Structure 1
Amino acid sequence: MMKGLKKWRLFSLLAVMTVFLSACGEEYISTLKPAGAVGKEQFNLLLFSITIMALVVIVVSVLYLYAFMKARRSKLGDDYMPKQVEGSHTLEVIWTVIPIVLLLILAVPTLIGTYKFADVKAMEEVDEEGNKTALTVNVTAKLYWWEFEYPEQGIITAQELVVPTGEKVYFNLKAADVKHSFWIPAVGGKMDTNVENMNKFYLEFDEESEGLKDGVFYGKCAELCGPSHALMDFKVKAVDRAEFDQWVAAMQSTEGATASADSTDLGEQTFANSCLMCHAVSGVGAAGAMGPNLTAFGDRNRVAGVLEHSKESLEEWVADPESIKPGNLMTGKYGELSDEEISAVADYIMSLSVEQ
């Protein structure tokens, strides 16, 4: 009876593992299906390392089984004494040199890749007019959201990063409060964002995200940063260069946009009185706002990075953000809004869009 139960336990464990591992092949978030040059090189290095380690395991296992079968007691008897090789210089050289060689084989491509991915000199290159030729994005990680500033284009957004395909995109990474970590699993390895210093690296996006689930790549915070760390997501929309330029122009055209407290629209009026001090509705401005820039909120695919992009989800967030992301800075600020005001401000925010 117990033997049968153990088998069912094993079956249940394998079934649960299958459910969890079924997401490993999703292109929008899987490191096993890289969608960029950096991710592909890192994936190839991972396969190379696994091959070397598997080879070591196989060789050691074969030697162990060979010794086990050849020197078993039933074959050689109780009194058999094998040849003693203690102090053998030949064997000591072999088991010292081989690990060193294997470590070098692993270390050389790893170091080459590390220095290659850290080469950001192109960030400072300029054309004849003095304009930088590389696209640079300043990323600021905050509890529990992401701010993306495009300094050369003079625009700023949040929670959804928009990038062109087929070229290197350089990132300046920093944190506004505690340590976070910027990670787009399907495109490249993570990089920490620190309060004290700025980290820099680049990624390449080979594929447009339109055909993926939700039309975006998923980004994550990969450093435990607080009670809502698991909910600190962002999305990446990868488009061709022409569409990216159109998006930049649309964001730039919002310069000076604001909400009026004198508006006859209840949603805009409520936003101006209760939200505008923390949230901008213009894509042109300075970084460092208290809350995410909402200029293109209507074009996003998530509310607060994790909820379905709908008016109902937005109303839920505005009414009680603490229940969704514990510890976020909006907590406790909107308890005085009526249901009518929450509904109206949700309509207003959902209407903020730059895409045609």
Structure 2
Amino acid sequence: MKGWQQYWRQLSLFGLLALVLTGCGRDELSALKPSGPVAAMQFDLMKLSSAIMIGVFIVVMTIFTYVLIRYRKRPGQQGIPKQVEGNHALEILWTVIPFLLLIIMAIPTVTTGFALHKEYPKEEAVQVKVTAHQFWWEFEYPDLGVATAQDLVLPVGKKVQFVLSASDVKHAFWIPALGGKIDTNPGQENKMWLQADKTGIYYGKCAELCGASHALMDFKVEVMEQADFDTWVANMKGVQAKEPVTATSPLAAEGQQIFDKSCLGCHAVAGKGGKMGPNLTNFADRERVAGIKAHTPQNIAEWLKDPQKMKPGNKMPNLNLDDTQVKALVEYMETLSVSEKK
């Protein structure tokens, strides 16, 4: 008896812990709080399939419990009870019911699948090319002439057509609040569309194990009003059409020299530079460093001193900068902004 009591205590504790863990998620990173039509359609399918499965489980367990109690072996009962076989009515019933349940699930699943598979031209949707890298995200708006990294900016209430691929290994693009994931493969393009119906900040992740820092391959999604989006595009295009920003202080000027010599070969600024690393045109406007830490001078310096410590396995080398060089570089990088607020 004591063993059973201990078992039930452990089971109750596990259930309570599971209940507590359900509240540990974040609204902007949850598939259970859809903020767009794609996420809503997928959530509706989740609710339908869950309801059917729960209903089937309850019915089966109710019948099972009833039979277990009703036909249990009683005191004094000897031998094997009479065996009943060949009830055609029951056989037809438990064949037809699952078939009908599958039909109920199949119809909305197929219609939703066709709706999600649709492709939208540039006249109907913002076109965004997504390239996944170890361990960061590149976003290009080919029809708008804008490119950025780590921060995906979208207009509210408008469809966005994504064309996705990867530069190295297989990744998966996922914004839980806006829609389900899709693989990004080297040498192959996949397509999907999403729409955000609420302004605000959301977060996306890589949902395919891709290396040592897979769990740190996050990105930010900022959804804004159309007018604000147009302003952002204009600011980005305006900066990218000009020469890189000129430092306004001696320390920043020193940092710019270091950047031009050591960083510009891999990172683009204002349309100049390489594409091996993230585009840093609007680096100072980003809320996170390396996509994972708060945007502070201390965290920027930590990243510059030892990129592998913050994000193991990434392709940025350690430049062996001293503290003075790091301070100057941080000062310059904090001038890389397209925001009118800065």
Note whether the superposition's TM-score is higher than 0.5: yes
Shift, 1:285, TM fit:
7.2
Aligned to 2:50: 50
Give yes or no for the alignment of 1:72 onto 2:72.
Answer: yes
Q: Identify the match of residue 213 of structure 2 among 228, 236, 250.
A: 228
Structure 1 range deviating more: 2-11 or 166-175: 2-11
Describe the shift of the 1:78–1:5 C-alpha distance in structure 2 as closer, same or farther (beyond 3 A).
Answer: closer
1:325 corresponds to which residue? Answer: 311
8 Å contact from structure 2 (residues 124, 159) kept in 1 = no
Alpha-carbon distance in 2 for matches of 1:80, 1:16: 44
Displacement of 1:6 in angstroms is 6.3
2:322 is the counterpart of 1:338: yes
Backbone CA RMSD of aligned residues: 2.4
Instruction: Pick the aligned partner of 1:281 from 259, 262, 269.
Output: 269
Secondary structure, counterpart of 2:317 in structure 1: coil
> Counterpart in 2 of 1:200?
191
CA separation of 1:294 and 1:246: change in aligned 2, threshold 3 A:
same
* Matched residue SS, 1:251: helix
Q: Secondary structure at the match of 2:121?
A: helix
Number of residue equivalences: 335
Q: Is residue 35–residue 178 contact of structure 2 (8 Å, CA) maintained in 1?
A: yes
How far off is 1:273 after superposition? 0.8
Quote the Cα distance in structure 2 between the aligned partners of 1:88 and 1:11: 40
Pairing partner for 1:248 from 215, 220, 233: 233
Q: Does 1:218 align with 2:209?
A: no
SS in 1 for 2:23: helix
Matched-pair contact (CA < 8 Å) for 1:31–1:186: yes
1:84 aligns with 2:84: yes
SS at structure 1 position matched to 2:60: helix
Q: Partner amino acid for 2:258?
A: T
Per-residue deviation, residues 136-157 of structure 1 (Å, max 9, x unmatched): 1000000000000000000100
By how many angstroms is 1:101 displaced? 1.8
3-state DSSP of counterpart to 1:74: coil
Alignment of 1:178 onto 2:169: yes
Amino acid at match of 1:177: D
Corresponding position of 2:106: 107
Preserved contact between residue 259 and residue 272 of structure 1 (Cα < 8 Å): no
Q: Summarize the alignment of residues 255-334 of structure 1 with structure 2, pairs less than 5 Å apart.
A: 255-258=241-244, 265-282=253-270, 284=271, 289-332=275-318, 334=319
Deviation at 1:259, TM superposition (A): 6.3
1:123 to 121, 124, 127: 121
- Farther-moved stretch of structure 1 (29-38 vs 87-96): 87-96
Counterpart of 2:235, as a letter, is A
Residue equivalent to 1:212: none
CA distance in 1, matches of 2:100, 2:3: 49
The unaligned stretches of length 5 or more in structure 2 are none
80 and 303 in structure 1: CA distance in 2 versus 1, 3 angstrom threshold: same
Aligned partners of 2:245 and 2:336 also within 8 Å: no
* Amino acid in the other structure paired with 1:28: E
1: CA distance between counterparts of 2:37 and 2:132? Answer: 24
From the superposition, tell whether residues 170 and 15 of structure 1 become closer, same or farther in structure 2 (CA, over 3 Å).
Answer: same
Partner residue in 2 for 1:166: 157
Deviation, structure 1 residue 58:
1.0
Query: 1:29/1:61 Cα in 2 relative to 1: closer, same or farther (>3 Å)?
Result: same
Task: Please give the per-residue CA displacement for 1:302-345, whole angstroms capped at 9, x wherever unaligned.
Answer: 0000011111100000100001111111033x11x221111111
Q: SS where residue 354 of structure 1 aligns?
A: coil
After superposing on structure 2, the runs of 4+ consecutive aligned residues of structure 1 that deviate more than 6 Å are 1-8
Q: Deviations over 1:19-73 (max 9, x none)?
A: 533223x321111111111111111110111111111111111111221222122
Contact 1:259 1:268 in 2 (8 A): no
Distance 1:285 1:107 in 2: 51
> What's the CA shift for 1:258?
2.5
**Tell me, which stretches of 5 or more residues in structure 1 are unaligned?**
125-131, 210-215
The alpha-carbon distance between structure 1 residues 9 and 97, as it changes in their structure 2 partners (threshold 3 A), is closer
* 1:95 CA drift (Å): 2.2
